[in-house]
Structure 1
């Protein structure tokens, strides 16, 4: 019991530190661990699961043995529009108290996505660095979030790890966006695409990027992170389906994955805007100017 409490306390401190922008090296120093060692020992997914279990157990204790009820969902929630439910929500009651995935800063989200792709390959860091064309020490700093890569380096790294650069592009742009207002113009990705079809593609890539930064959890965990307000069908369609989901579903999913719905709402509005109707072709007779013979004298 004491060991479990200590582990919960450690997970809480690491999760809070990462949310505040602390590096893995800074968090590992009090524990006598290097940043890389701490990141491998305490991946974000493990921290999230432990904290979810802790919240559920604490809520059960507070409810008492005679009237055990699911944990109260986090009060930090997206817009409260009603979403349709299906039968799979009835089987998800044990996870009803799960909180959204740990909020991360944009640089942390980029580092988490790159780290997940690199771990999935099973390759040593040295081999991945050689495939990317950078040094192992530089790669280690990129994966730890202490350095931000240029786009060519990020793209080469994602490609070397068999990932999709389109899913990482928005994360990279957000990570390089200034945190304070500057007179310089905003990056191109800060403004939604003018074409609704292109905006739909960018929106889906942005949501998939958040899904990647959360270590691509299974649909059941994502559904629990939305307090079961979304179904597995909603989530699967938003991530991979051909149709654009409503803002209620999209915002809840973005929030549950640790993103900020307000950042993607302009893109969603553009994506849902009807495409302009093409102008009808001019009739052949209307495309030429006819003058009477008398006009030429």
Structure 2
């Protein structure tokens, strides 16, 4: 073969075309020594899911979720700045551990420092100096020891839940005359257990199925699925498709609109197929007609709240009031779940949190529903439709 002959080739690492010299022996596959080194690191990287950091990732995520929930509870409980800083510092430490874990995982999978530094706004060299592997290993060891200690002993600070020492909100003051009777269960009831979106959907479907009194086998036959599949859906081990969810709700005589937001959140970011709109609200005078977008958002917000109410096994309204530390009245809770009646964001977030939901999930919808438009009193067609047992 003639010396100095070349041919066109493409680097398998970076995809850059280059001129490859024709010579005896194994051809030079890569365009540069750097690409050859990167390919070598990638070939030696362990398979996905086998890095020593993967086992801790879910645990850190669960810690962050719990700490964020505790922080929100402290805010709604009127905690002092010192207490809020304590919660914020704990959340910051967990976020730092999450960062260290993912840098370690990325390096174990063959990613470069530049690739890992891009989401953090850092150069590869700056990231390597800030998070050397020795520091990541020490932080992981510290986290594991700390988590083991927390599992073996009670927490240093008791869980923060809303208490009755917080004064009622302005919304509650405006409606106190409707709630002269107070239930005995109003003493120190904590919010309902927080659940992930898939767990909320499973809880709502389980409640609907239990309410029918039918055997699982009969409900599964009416839904068109096997009893074992239905059992996994109700336990939260599987998430139903929209078609299965519709059939299951129909078999249980439920309200499909109440499940809409729960299903969307459980399957996010999968979009939900079009759902027929509920009956329109009474026609308002032209001068007072709110924007259609705001009207639809109010209905959707009402349905989302009713979905959380369903996921909490439709507790009586006195329990919900107690879970908000008596900051909302029975009348306001009932109208929020039926009218659709808009509360201020502070009151709405308390209601969502008390039902075990995540206020941040509903805040964009609340903003859309509260775009400037004159409010009208509830009409005869928008009276509360909760079951009688909801009032105790």
**Equivalent-residue separation in structure 1 for 2:196 and 2:309 (angstroms):** 15
The Cα of 1:238 is off from its aligned counterpart by 0.3
Q: TM-score, normalised by structure 1?
A: 0.60
The Cα of 1:92 is off from its aligned counterpart by 4.1
Q: Which has the larger radius of gyration?
A: 2
TM alignment of 1:65-214, pairs within 5 A: 74-75=161-162, 82-85=170-173, 86-87=176-177, 88=179, 91-92=182-183, 95-177=186-268, 187=271, 195-214=293-312
CA deviation string 1:1-56 (max 9, x = no partner): xxxxxxxxxxxxxxxxxxx69xxxxxxxxxxxxxxxxxxxxxxxxxxxxxxxxxxx
The Cα of 1:91 is off from its aligned counterpart by 2.3
Question: Runs ≥4 in structure 1, deviation > 6 angstroms?
Answer: none
The Cα of 1:73 is off from its aligned counterpart by 7.5
Maintained 8 Å contact 2:302/2:339? no
Maintained 8 Å contact 1:73/1:97? no
Is 1:232 aligned with 2:330?
yes
CA deviation string 1:195-247 (max 9, x = no partner): 11111111111000000000000101111111111110010010012432222
Is 1:216 aligned with 2:314?
yes
TM alignment of 1:36-55, pairs within 5 A: none
Maintained 8 Å contact 2:198/2:239? yes
**Equivalent-residue separation in structure 2 for 1:134 and 1:89 (angstroms):** 49
Q: Which residue of 2 aligns with 1:3?
A: none
> Secondary structure of the residue that 1:109 maps to in structure 2?
helix
Sort the Cα spacing of 1:94 and 1:209 in 2 relative to 1 into closer, same or farther, 3 A.
closer
Which sections of structure 1, spanning at least 5 residues, go unmatched?
1-19, 22-71, 179-185, 277-297
Q: TM-score, normalised by structure 2?
A: 0.46
**Equivalent-residue separation in structure 1 for 2:210 and 2:231 (angstroms):** 12
The Cα of 1:122 is off from its aligned counterpart by 0.4
Which sections of structure 2, spanning at least 5 residues, go unmatched?
1-61, 64-158, 274-290, 375-392
> Secondary structure of the residue that 1:215 maps to in structure 2?
coil
**Equivalent-residue separation in structure 2 for 1:143 and 1:114 (angstroms):** 6
Q: Which residue of 1 aligns with 2:371?
A: 273
Sort the Cα spacing of 1:232 and 1:81 in 2 relative to 1 into closer, same or farther, 3 A.
closer
The Cα of 1:275 is off from its aligned counterpart by 5.9
Maintained 8 Å contact 1:167/1:206? yes
Structure ranking higher on relative contact order (CA contacts 8 Å, 6+ apart): 1
Equivalenced residues, count: 196
The Cα of 1:93 is off from its aligned counterpart by 6.3
**Equivalent-residue separation in structure 1 for 2:327 and 2:163 (angstroms):** 14
Q: Which residue of 1 aligns with 2:339?
A: 241
Maintained 8 Å contact 2:209/2:252? yes
CA deviation string 1:146-172 (max 9, x = no partner): 000101101110111000111001101
**Equivalent-residue separation in structure 2 for 1:123 and 1:188 (angstroms):** 28
The Cα of 1:83 is off from its aligned counterpart by 3.5
